[in-house]
Amino acid sequence: MKIAKVRIRELQGTLKHPDGPFWEERLIRPVDIYPEYHAQHARDANWQPSSSTDTESTVVLQFLEIETDDGLTGLGGPVTRDTATLLHTEYRDFLIGHDALATERLWDIMYRLGVHNRKGVPMFAISVIDAALWDLKGKFLGQPVHRLLGGPTRDKLPAYASMLGYSLEPDKLADRAAAFAAKGYAAQKWFPRWGPSDGREGVRKNVEMMEILRSSAGADTDIMVDAWMSWNVPYTLDMAQRLKPYDPRWLEEPVMPDMIPQYTEIRAASVVPISGGEHEYTRFGIKELLDTRAVDLMQADTYWAGGISEMQKICTLCSAYDIPIIPHGHSVPANVQLSAALSPAGVPYVEFLVKWNEILQFFFKNPVLPVDGWITVPNDPGMGIEIDPDKIDSEREFTVD
Ligand SMILES: [Mg+2]
């Protein structure tokens, strides 16, 4: 069965949010050390949705469809516009004629062909091609992807609520933390806005955030803190000491991804477990984090680090080092299929970015969503996702001028 056609669909739809602006807050970023960036609001940060009013947003997303000469279609995405551009210019014609089921062969060829494509956006493109081909393989065999990977190890997975984009204003923070605990989420992750350039006031606000979260979410909720690469070694070790009385489950991405020796230094001295790896790629990048004892918990992203084929290898490596992995949450349907085929000891949670998933799964007829904090593993053939024509206001074939 050969690949006969590759399409990149750009879909536009309208997301309604009657309770107010979609993004209430953003996360701290490494670039925030510069005042002009520090001052930016979430709406200036060049995120989706592409345009917004206080009550509705326009969502424009690109999806990859790979069609075979048998008439089967594999779906991947959504992807970033950068990735769609690369799919159009580098891979659309290249994929034609390849064996659609030989995913390992195709991954290896793509990896060997582009020696500069090992990290970043080119690896996003390889990842989504691989994910679409696993969807296609599942449809061809009439089985969900998790079955092809050896699962299910369980029929539902605990999700943690990743609270990016919610206000950090104390009253709202307390209300949301209590509400998500009451919904059944056993864990929540929050994103402080303050780092080394915010001085003593920032330190105090980080601690105050954690204090409110613990008192509002309750003693039995796992609470995680994501510094999104924006702290440094002494700041992180100091914050770990200050946050420890409130028992955080982990501190995430304290420094920039290239600072692997600094990760090792932090992990060795921190009183709170350290997570990372969402901005690392392939088995080779992840193995370096494992070999250097950089993290207590790995967070490679299925849609960034190499797709399902590469994540199988990454997850096997992590299990051999006894480091749990929770795939980063930009591809919940794919992460659920993968996680449902792995030991609960190795994958303790699925990350569910509450607001991002309103966007990323907007066009799906059957979005993969938690109920009472748990995600039921879909049993439809393939990845279990389908585009809902009723969600589309307009559509075009994505091309690059
Ligand atoms: Mg993160």
pLDDT digits (tens, 9 = 90+) for 245-269: 999 999 999 999 999 999 999 999 9
Residue 88: pLDDT band with limits 50, 70, 90: very high
Q: Give the pLDDT of residue 53.
A: 84
Ligand 1 center to residue 330 CA distance, Å? 10
Mean pLDDT, the chain, integer? 96
Q: Give the pLDDT of residue 51.
A: 79
- Between residues 41 and 36, the one the model is more confident about: 36
Task: Return the bridge partners of 160, or none.
Answer: 351
341: closest CA among 351, 350, 352, 328?
350
Take residue 381 and report the two structure tokens written for it.
């053939």
363: closest CA among 43, 48, 37?
48
Take residue 130 and report the two structure tokens written for it.
């691989």
Ligand 1 center to residue 226 CA distance, Å? 6
Segments of 209-331 assigned E as strands: 222-226, 250-252, 274-276, 297-298
Ligand 1 center to residue 224 CA distance, Å? 10
CA distance 81 to 395: 15
Given a cut of 70, whether residue 47 has pLDDT beyond it is: no
| CA-CA-CA-CA dihedral for 243, 192, 307, 342, to nearest 10 | 30
Q: Give the pLDDT of residue 401.
A: 78
pTM above 0.75, yes or no: yes
Q: Hunting for tokens 């984009």 — which residue is that?
A: 165
CA distance 60 to 359: 9
Ligand 1 center to residue 358 CA distance, Å? 18
Q: Give the pLDDT of residue 230.
A: 98
Q: Contact 203/238 with Cβ under 8 angstroms? A: yes
Given a cut of 60, whether residue 216 has pLDDT beyond it is: yes
Residue 45: pLDDT band with limits 50, 70, 90: low
Paired sense of beta strands 274-276 and 56-68, if any = unpaired
Ligand 1 center to residue 106 CA distance, Å? 30
Ligand 1 center to residue 281 CA distance, Å? 15
CA distance 9 to 45: 25
* Residue 359 CB neighbours (<10 A): 19
CA distance 76 to 307: 10
Task: Report CA 314 to chain centroid distance, whole Å.
Answer: 15
Ligand 1 center to residue 276 CA distance, Å? 7
Ligand 1 center to residue 140 CA distance, Å? 34
Residues with CB under 5 A from ligand 1 (ion): 226, 252
Ligand 1 center to residue 390 CA distance, Å? 32
Ligand 1 center to residue 316 CA distance, Å? 21
Ligand 1 center to residue 252 CA distance, Å? 6
Q: Give the pLDDT of residue 46.
A: 56
Cα radius of gyration rounded to whole Å, the chain: 21
Ligand 1 center to residue 167 CA distance, Å? 17
Ligand 1 center to residue 164 CA distance, Å? 9
Ligand 1 center to residue 386 CA distance, Å? 27
Ligand 1 center to residue 42 CA distance, Å? 16
| Domains assigned to the chain | 147-376 (3.20.20.120)
Q: Contact 169/212 with Cβ under 8 angstroms? A: no
Ligand 1 center to residue 375 CA distance, Å? 20
Ligand 1 center to residue 278 CA distance, Å? 7
Ligand 1 center to residue 253 CA distance, Å? 6
Region 365-392: mean pLDDT is: 98
CA distance 84 to 72: 21
Taking the CA of residue 250 as centre, how many other CA atoms within 13 Å lie in the half-sphere pointing to its CB?
21
Ligand 1 center to residue 353 CA distance, Å? 10
Ligand 1 center to residue 364 CA distance, Å? 24
Ligand 1 center to residue 381 CA distance, Å? 30
Ligand 1 center to residue 190 CA distance, Å? 10
Segments of 253-323 assigned E as strands: 274-276, 297-298
Given a cut of 90, whether residue 50 has pLDDT beyond it is: no
